[in-house]
Amino acid sequence: MREARSKEWYVTGKSVRGSIHRGNDLPNQDCIAWVQKETDSGEVAVLSLADGHGSEKYFLSHIGAQFAVQVANDLLYQFAQANAGLSLTDIKVGTERLPFQIVRQWRRKVEDDWNSPERSKETERWLDNPEIARTVESSPLIAYGTTLLSVLIAERFIFYMQIGDGDILAIDAHGALTEPVPLDERNVANEATSLSSPTAMRDFRVEFRRRGSSVPALIMLATDGYANSFLTRAGFHKVGSDIWQMIRTDGKAGWQTIEKQLEGWLQRTTELGSGDDISVGLLCRMSALQEEGPEKLPAATQGVGDSQVPLQEDAISQQGIPGTALGEEELDESTEKRSAGTGKS
């Protein structure tokens, strides 16, 4: 796991194997990673997480989840770099191509992997199952099926994108919570839209937000195993509120406690809740601590300490992506919502 810290945004995350997966000798099919760097055009942070589908026919979904996170982080970071000088309107137009680019690159990686000699040997035992053999014969992509949730934070905008289930929460400095990406009603009863689907490009849900006065203090991304562990949706939302309250109460020490305790919290949550793999990414804007708000409340979470955890800055290499057609007008609204293609919103 790569830890990173820079001037404004603090980033961390963890992934734990679900207790059902442990009991059934299944791997952790989630993946999480992030990149963060101070660039010429300001700070850029990208975090992605993915949840590989669990059914047998998705027997390489843990690999598919890793590919999804790698591809999304690389493309989103490169996008921020390549388009930093454009107007917000043009940047927003450019984001419309990201689902297409991510799906295309993910498919390419999957096809390379599927055709590699190492993978062929490994998959032989799965293909003894006629149902699985039929499925991958129609499309090997299916074996790698996964969800994907990403956030890109740049100097002038925040871009969220998601395919499949899972949650993105945004908490402002006063503790008010929103879910920036609209729900997709197809994600019910253990089924989710998927990167492996032929309609994947249209199934992405995205939101582009110009950074104005309402920049979140805390952004939390989570695979569905987290929300499914709580008796109520409000109980899940309280995670975001509790974590922000810890930071408000203890500042950087609170953040360090969260980094230390997060894995244990998630482990306990899967044991007492859904039993599914859980991955959580947190991005905290420390400058929000200086903003006016209600009086600080007692920390909702116990065990706050002040031990120092050394962190490392990390980054990916910079490669440009061709920009999109340029327009002259500037966005005049702080929030621009859209759903790529026909994805429900």
Partner 1 sequence: MIPGGELAARPLHFFWLADCSGSMAGEKIQSLNHAIRDAIEAMRKVADNNVHAKVFVRAIKFSRGATWHVAQPTPLENFQWKDLTAGGVTDMGQALIMLAEQLKVPLMEQRGLPPVVVLVSDGHPSDDVKKGLAAVMAEPWGKKAVRIAIGIGKDADDNMLEKFIANPEIPVLHAHNSAELTHYIKWASTMALQASSSPSMRSDATQLAAPFASTQLNIPAPLPSADGQSQDVW
State the residues that interact with partner 1 by CB under 8 A. 18-21, 24, 26, 53-58, 129, 131, 142, 145, 185-194, 196-199, 203, 227-236, 238-239, 242-243, 246, 264-265, 268-269, 272-276, 300-303
Q: Min. distance of Cβ 203 from partner 1 in angstroms? A: 7
Torsion-angle region of 178 (φ positive above 0: left; ψ -120 to 50: alpha; else: beta): beta
Name which of 165 and 172 has its Cβ closer to partner 1.
Answer: 165
Name which of 170 and 192 has its Cβ closer to partner 1.
Answer: 192
Q: Is 339 exposed, middle or buried (0-12, 13-18, 19+ CB in 10 A)?
A: middle
Secondary element (H or E) of residue 260: helix 233-272
Residue 27 makes CB contacts below 8 A (sequence gap 6+) with 17, 21, 62
Q: Min. distance of Cβ 80 from partner 1 in angstroms? A: 29
Q: Let me know: does 77 contact 46? Beta carbons within 8 Å.
A: yes
Q: Min. distance of Cβ 325 from partner 1 in angstroms? A: 30
Torsion-angle region of 173 (φ positive above 0: left; ψ -120 to 50: alpha; else: beta): alpha
Q: Min. distance of Cβ 295 from partner 1 in angstroms? A: 20
Structure tokens at 33: 């990673």
Name which of 211 and 238 has its Cβ closer to partner 1.
Answer: 238
Name which of 21 and 97 has its Cβ closer to partner 1.
Answer: 21
Residue 233 makes CB contacts below 8 A (sequence gap 6+) with 227
Name which of 131 and 329 has its Cβ closer to partner 1.
Answer: 131
| Phi, psi at 231, each rounded to 5° | -60, -35
Q: Min. distance of Cβ 114 from partner 1 in angstroms? A: 17
Name which of 198 and 327 has its Cβ closer to partner 1.
Answer: 198
Tell me how far apart the alpha carbons of residues 137 and 144 are, in angstroms, rounded to a whole number. 13
Token pair 């109980």: residue: 235
Q: Min. distance of Cβ 264 from partner 1 in angstroms? A: 8
Name which of 159 and 265 has its Cβ closer to partner 1.
Answer: 265
Q: Min. distance of Cβ 35 from partner 1 in angstroms? A: 25
Q: Which whole-number Å values give the CA distances from 129 to 56, 59, 64, 143, 226, in the listed order?
A: 10, 12, 20, 13, 32
